[in-house]
Structure formats: C-alpha cells, structure tokens
Structure 1
C-alpha cells in the first residue's frame, strides 16, 4: 500500500507512534523497566491505543506504511551499533559460538514448535527471536516471510506474539541468570560470554552482564553483537528456505523472486561506515538512539493492529517451544563458557 505523504491519516499515525516510541524510550531507561526494553514497551503502548478506536481509524492509512518502511529504516540504522573491529578482536571462538547458537537455537525452537502444532510463520519468527536478538530479529526476519494479502493480519498477530514471547522469556532468564551467578563460580569473562550467548535481547545481555562488573558487561555486549551480526545472513537463508518450502503450494506456476533482504545490506553497510568512517562517539550514539526511536515507532504501529483474540488463543505452544529451547541454550552456554573461555 502506497501512502500519500500529504494525507492527514499518515500524520495522525506518525504523531501517535512517535509519542509511543518516545515514552517507550524514556520508560525503557528506568532501572526496573530497562530489562523489558524500549521496543517492547513501545509495542505495549501501541496495543493500549486500541482502547481508543477512533484514533486508530483516523490513522489507519499510515499505520501499515510506518510499520513496514520504518521497520526497515530502523534495522539499517541499528547497524551503526555493530563495531566490526571489536567483533574481530573478540576472536574466532566468539564468532563460532554465535554461529552455533543462532543456527542451533533457530532449528531447535522451530522444530519443537512445529511438533506442538504451531503454525509455520509463528514458529520461525519465535525461533528467530529466540536464537538471534529478540524483537529486532523478529522484525528483521518478518519481511522475508511472504504471505498473501488476506494473510497479512494473521502475520502481524504472529509478529506481535513472537515479540511478546521473547521479551517475557528473555526477562525471566535475565532474572534467573543473575540469581544463579554465585552458584556458577565463573570468571567475569565467562559470565559475560554466557549472558551474551544465551539471552534474547541486547537489553537482557546488558542487564545480566552488568551484574558481573565492567569486564563481564563488555564481554556480554560483544558476544551478543556477534549474534546480531548474523541477522543479515539468517534473513537471507530463512527467506530462501521459506520460499522453497512454500513452492509446492504455489499452484499458479509463477516463478517467485529470490527473497533478497536489501535492507539487510543497508544494515551491514551501516556497520561498515560506523566502524571505518571517522566520526565521534556522540554521533554514533545519536544514530543508534535514532534507530531505536524509529524501531519503536514500527513496534507501536504493530501493536495498534494486533488481534487480541488471536493473540491469546495461539501462543501457549509457541511459549513452551521457546522456553524449552532457552533452557537448552542456557545449559549449553554454561558448559561452553566454562570450558572454552
């Protein structure tokens, strides 16, 4: 759907989502809410907007546009958070762990979910959020899942549900890991690797890594960003896999285009620019804040379109699948951290 930028409904949507994103950013900076994160808070605020239906109706023309285009822009800007030199300094071990975690957890979560009767779209979105980087991964992988127009609403519900699942479980496992820290007898580096390798959102890794001190925090961030770096190749692989798996249902004989996530190329380009083009840390921080502001607007737009009945009825098995995979992941990262780091 193409939106005329001069339509009043577009500006209604823009203002509503900007409000949600700014409030989400402010609340996400508070001590007890930082674990949840600004993106999930923006999503919840967008859902609350549905209580005042006239506002949604006025903004409807812009909601779909913003949730789609702003999502891609936010993911691109998020690339400035990735410093490729820092990732290279982290060493081959960290990158290998990230590859094993991302591929293994996506495979495990997806297959558990499918065996429990979860639909394919929700299963892969939940698996991606669990394996890569939470809400940002769900939103980054979602454009690769091509559906017909009549399935778009259901897909949006699946996106919201997947985001909610990884946010809730990520917060739960953040509290668990901080609680069991004294029992693990890990060095600060080992604890950081465990946190960055096992938790879903960057906010979760920061909260947990910070509990182990400065070294632990830095290690957790680098390990987590190693997983974030794999968002681009994962989007390409999942897009090709999803298209191939759906080929049998394509009965009209038309040849589908290869699902290349061009906005992910922008994500990689932004990380290259942020790493090698001289610019102050203040400018980089500003670009990352802008990324979260734009992504917050996309999340709020998503929250404004969710179908609550579908949200409640289809989530239980997806939660159990992600929970099972998260338990396996935590156990795996404890062993890997203590053995190799």
Structure 2
C-alpha cells in the first residue's frame, strides 16, 4: 500500500484553500450570506462543471480531516456561563425542542417519507441542533455515506438562507419583543450564524437572546452525537460486544470536542485565545465545506429528489409554530 505524501495532497489542498478564500471574499461582498454556503456552492460548481482532476483528488479528500479538527475546536464555543445566564426556562425549552426535534424528524423521515437509511439521522441532527456542524459530527459517529451528508448539508444550507430572510420579517409582522424573537429564532432556526444575524437584524436585545439560546442548543451536540454512536454501534451487536462496539465506532474527535469545551470553561483561555480558536475553526469549516461541495453530484441528488427538503420543511414549520406559542406565552 503506497504511502500518502505531502506532495500527493498539496495540490488538492491548494484548490480547497483558493476556493475557501474566494468564499470569504464573496460572502463579504454580499450582506447576510454565509461563507459556508458560498464554499459549498463553489465546490459543487467546480465538481459538476469540470469534475475533480486526479492530481487534486487526494487533497480534496482531506476536507473530512479539516471538518473533524474544526468540530474539535468548536468545543471552545460551548459556554456554561451563557447557558446559566439564559435561565432555567430557556434551557428547558431548548432541551424539549432538541429532544422532540430529533425524535420527530426521525419518525417523519422514516415513517412519513420512507427514508430508511442514515440520512434520516443526519437530517434530525442538522435541523434540531446546530445545522451543518451537527450533521457532519453525527455523520462521523455513524459512518454515514458521503453522498448522504452532502445532500443533507445542501438541504440545511438552503433553509439557512431562507430562514435568514423570512424570520426577521415574520418577527416584525408578529410584533414580537426582542426577547421573544431572539428565543424563538434560537429555538427554531438551524445554524448559529444565520440565527445571530436574524436576531441582530431585529434588535440588539433579540440578537443577544438569539445567540445565547442557540449556543445553549449547540451544547447538546455532544450528547446527541454520543447517543447516535451508541445506537448505531449496537444495532447489529450482541450484548457481549456492545461496549467494545461502542468504543470502536465512537468518533475519537468527539473526545477532543469535549476536552476543548471543558478547558474553555475553566477560564484558562483568554478571550483573545478563544477568538483565535474561533477564527481557525471558521477557516477549517470553510475548507471542509468546499470539499463537501466537491462531493455534491447533481445527478445523484436527483435520485433522492426533494424528500429531504420536504422533511425539513415540515419539521421547521411545526417547530416554529410550537416554539412561537411557547415564547409568546412564557415571555
């Protein structure tokens, strides 16, 4: 078996880097557009227009490594202080929303729309916790197919773009207070960036509550990922092999996520260090998402059709309606 050398992967990594920089530049020009959305779009555009040349394939494949390292560093953004600050009522709403979302999407996808593979779990994680980051983390825990992940990522990013436009308008039409809108957006929308952007588009108070609520929701990523790892590891195992299977299948990068989260919450890291970690994680995710874009093959996505989009749409409408009732009643 031939060893992979730096020379083998460098050209492909350079392609990822060039497109990642382009994604950040374009996102900076177009207000409200996430660099991650642009990164996936650029990768998919190149892959479907010209394909992935052999000399770049090895480096493009390293996108999965960048993704895992980015998830590890994501642990630094989990703040127990912010979770405490949000108050027990918000924490309770977050736990109920995430729990109901995961179970609801699993049942909806499998029983309602006939998705019998791991895509249902990726959709559940992505729409219930923190968007593409959650879908990618769970994909690593359950060894999901790359095509499934890229389709789910494309679906989640589509709704990130739509909700970023729709939620601020809905908040104004419904005459929600800053706190009500912030908690509602934090409970209902998918990815952290669009949630914060939608919140601050409404008001500074809404931006603060949206961000705190969303980060509280993000903190459940480790719990849900571990749960999925245990579930899929034991689906075909006997009682004698369950613990061994769980450890074998358990994604070791999640240990890193938990360690980084623990260290960050000791106060040992300065705000400047945390900001630097966040910047590095952002660039790693951008590189990884360019790589995910290369995996998006439109011909293959047509086979699945609009089913994932319909599943997420039904989930979003249901969760948004229920959480809207909750926040207008309780706050």
Do both proteins adopt the same fold according to a TM-score greater than 0.5, normalized to the shorter chain?
Answer: yes
In the other structure, the counterpart of 1:152 is none
Instruction: Find the aligned partners of 1:56 and 1:306 in 2 and give their Cα distance.
Output: 15
Q: Once the two structures are superposed, what CA deviation does each residue of 1:23-80 show, in whole Å capped at 9, x if it has no partner?
A: 223333345343xx22222112111222333x5311222333x122211100111222
Do structure 1's residue 224 and structure 2's residue 214 form an aligned pair?
A: yes
Q: Counterpart in 1 of 2:68?
A: 72
Runs of 4+ with deviation above 6 angstroms: none
* Stretch of structure 1 that moved more, 223-232 or 138-147: 138-147
TM-score by length of structure 2 reads 0.90
Residue 324, structure 1, aligned to residue 322, structure 2 = no
Alpha-carbon distance between aligned partners in 1 of 2:3 and 2:189, rounded to the nearest angstrom: 38
- The residue that corresponds to 1:251 in the other structure is none
Q: Which residue of 2 aligns with 1:14?
A: 13
* Contact 2:234–2:245 (8 Å) recurs in 1: no
Contact 1:161 1:315 in 2 (8 A): no
Residue 75 of structure 2 corresponds to residue 85 of structure 1:
no
CA drift of 1:174 comes to: 2.7
CA RMSD of aligned residues (A): 2.2
CA distance in 2, matches of 1:182, 1:156: 40
What secondary structure, in the 3-state scheme, does the structure 2 residue paired with 1:186 have?
Answer: coil
Contact 1:39–1:135, Cα closer than 8 Å, also in 2: no
Which of 179, 189, 192 aligns to 2:182? It is 192
Task: Kindly state the Cα deviation for residue 303 of structure 1 after the two structures are TM-superposed.
Answer: 1.8
Aligned residue for 1:140? 137
- Residue 275 of structure 1 corresponds to which residue in structure 2? 265
Sort the Cα spacing of 1:23 and 1:317 in 2 relative to 1 into closer, same or farther, 3 A: same
Output the CA distance in 2 between the equivalents of 1:321 and 1:185.
Answer: 29
- Other-structure match for 2:226: 236
TM-score (norm 1): 0.88
d(CA) in 1 for partners of 2:268 and 2:245? Answer: 41
CA positional deviation for 1:310: 1.2
Q: Which position in structure 1 is the counterpart of 2:163?
A: 173
Q: 1:210 to 1:310 in 2, by over 3 A?
A: same
Match of 1:94 in 2: 90
Contact kept, 8 Å, 2:82 with 2:216, in 1: the verdict is: no
Match of 2:245 in 1: 256
Q: What are structure 2's unaligned runs of at least 5 residues?
A: 239-243
Q: Which stretch of structure 1 is more off in the superposition, 279-288 or 231-240? A: 279-288
Pick which of 193-202 and 82-91 moved more: 82-91
Q: CA 1:269/1:2 → structure 2, altered by over 3 Å: closer, same or farther? A: farther
For residues 141 and 2 of structure 1, what CA distance do their matches in structure 2 show? 30
Equivalent residues in 2 for 1:300-311 (5 A)? Answer: 300-311=290-301
Q: Return 5+ residue gaps in structure 1 as ranges.
A: 148-154, 249-254
Greater mean alpha carbon deviation, residues 297-306 or residues 223-232:
297-306
1:272-294 Cα distance to aligned partner (Å, 9 max, x none): 33333344433322211110111
CA contact (8 A) 1:106 1:131 kept: yes
Greater CA drift, 225-234 or 40-49: 40-49
**Match of residue 4 from structure 1:** 4
Q: Name the CA distance, whole Å, in 2 between partners of 1:125 and 1:56.
A: 29
Q: Counterpart of 1:296?
A: 286
How far 1:14 moved relative to its partner? 1.2
Give the superposition deviation at 1:11: 0.2
